[in-house]
Amino acid sequence: MKKRKIVISLVILLFLSSVFLAKFFSSSIGTSGDLEFINFNKNVKTLNKREIKYIRNPNMGKINISIAATGDIMFHTTQIISAYDNKTGTYDFESPFKPVKKYIESADIAIGNLETVTAGREHGFTGYPRFNSPKVVVRALKNTGYDILATANNHSLDRGKEGIIETIDNIKTYGLKNIGTYKTPNNDILIENVKGVKVAFLCYTYGCNGLESLLTKDELKYMINLIDEDRIKNDIEKTKLAGADFTVIFIHWGNEYHRNASPFQKQLAEKMVKWGADIILGSHPHVVQESDILEYNGENKFIIYSMGNFISNQRYETVNNRYTEDGVIVILKLQKDYVNEIISIESIEYIPTWVNRYRKDGKYKYEILPVEEYLNNKAQDLSKEVFSRMKKSFNSTMTKMDQR
């Protein structure tokens, strides 16, 4: 009997030791084993779950929500001319989005990077290098299904302080929300509560093309979220204290026209994941960059370094770069499981897109085409050239998505 008690005691001691060691190593952020990139396919159905401290509630079951994210939404001068109707004196920016509208509006939350300001006609409507678009572009995005627009990017100050304020006001007027730029110092972090799932959204940019001097030092601190590690870390901590289930970071970074993420992007992504970011959505390079699942402390975090151009006039004919015609809609399925007390990214789906430009009635027309859908079901409507370009676009985009 005494021998049996000793054996039981040893078993218990070994179990407690293993638990302690596991906990110790999982909490040591500096160890090399914390971060691991894993292979990632088009649809991820089984990802590691994260335990949550919620009261078990079988009546709630499993709550699923979806987020659709897109990259750079730009309006160059030729696009503004294209949208203008001389007969009515009005602009139509909705038509280019119609082929992809169903993917945007079907998501519980849709977000994209608005890479222009809407400062008003009195400031002149222009494209590159300093953008200012008619405010009805925001209405077009609202009618397409967007809910949130990221407004911290290198063109945030293209019309100075007034441009920031007018853009925020226009976004609010049309019933959308923005992240990354603000009118006042008292800025609450945006947390969307969808079916009981709380998702926090943060947004940052590397800079504003040297126009930062258009604001005072104090204004620059609160009007634009510039990339600052301490600031990002503190903001992520605030989202957790506010009870966010997921923290999404929309970040404007990287090198233009580079199809691979830079060392800076990789390093900052790892840091943000360690600080608590769950999803990182990148913009700025104007081409699609790779996506990854970053495993940290047994949890899977999603990163796409650049979602490319969702719409612009950049293309082979204008900038001698066919990759600028490509974009991708990222659809993330998130789950909050009240029965088993876990939350998780259930799956990620990619919808590669390609911007078609053609001439009609003496001016260019634009449309964002969901590539796979058109190649499989509407090939008969495409010219040989368009079919070939779309096929190359699909392959180049999906190759990046399948990388580690």
pLDDT in tens, 280-331: 999 999 999 999 999 998 889 999 999 999 999 999 999 999 999 999 999 9
pLDDT of residue 198: 98
Using the predicted structure, report yes or no on whether residue 279 has a pLDDT greater than 90.
yes
pLDDT of residue 403: 52
Using the predicted structure, report yes or no on whether residue 404 has a pLDDT greater than 80.
no
Average pLDDT over residues 21-46: 37
Could you confirm whether domain 34-401 is CATH 3.30.70.1150?
no
pLDDT in tens, 211-231: 999 999 999 999 999 999 999
Query: Could you tell me the pTM of the whole model?
Result: 0.87
Give the span between the Cα atoms of 180 and 188, in whole angstroms.
Answer: 11
pLDDT of residue 58: 54
Nearest-Å Rg of the Cα atoms of the chain is: 23
Average pLDDT over residues 319-347: 95
Q: How many CB atoms sit inside 10 A of residue 134's CB?
A: 21
Sign of CA dihedral 244, 246, 252, 255: positive
pLDDT of residue 339: 86
Continuous segment of H or E residues that includes residue 273: helix 263-275
Decide: 176 and 146 in contact? Cβ < 8 Å: yes
Q: pLDDT band at residue 341, thresholds of 50, 70 and 90?
A: confident
Q: Which of 38, 163, 111, 74 is nearest to 280 (CA)?
A: 111
CA atoms within a 13 Å half-sphere pointing along the CA-CB vector of 395: 7
Mean pLDDT, the chain, integer? 89
Using the predicted structure, report yes or no on whether residue 66 has a pLDDT greater than 50.
yes
pLDDT in tens, 7-33: 334 334 444 444 343 333 333 333 333
Q: pLDDT band at residue 46, thresholds of 50, 70 and 90?
A: very low
Sign of CA dihedral 401, 233, 254, 142: positive
Could you tell me the residue ranges of all domains in the chain? 34-401
